[in-house]
Amino acid sequence: MFLDILLLIVSAMMIILSLLQSGKSEGLSSAFTGGSGSNLFAQTKERGPEKVLSQVTMVVGVAYFVLAILTRLL
């Protein structure tokens, strides 16, 4: 029961954190049409708050998968 509630909280945090992140490409249409000469697989450096937000999202994602596995096993 406790793990289920914790999993719900972590999943809500994951949704919020992923919505707060800025887009890394120019859009879906430019991925198909190749607009503006942008490379879809180009490496972009994250700095400042974007980097922190990305790292927190990664930690919350790992916590989500661990809680999902623990919920299933217990």
Residue by residue, DSSP assigns 2-34 as HHHHHHHHHHHHHHHHHHHSPPSSS-HHHHHH-
23 Rama sector, left if φ>0, alpha if ψ -120 to 50, beta otherwise:
beta
More confident residue, 43 or 59: 59
User: Residue 28: pLDDT above 80?
Assistant: no
Which pTM value belongs to this model? 0.70
pLDDT of residue 24: 64
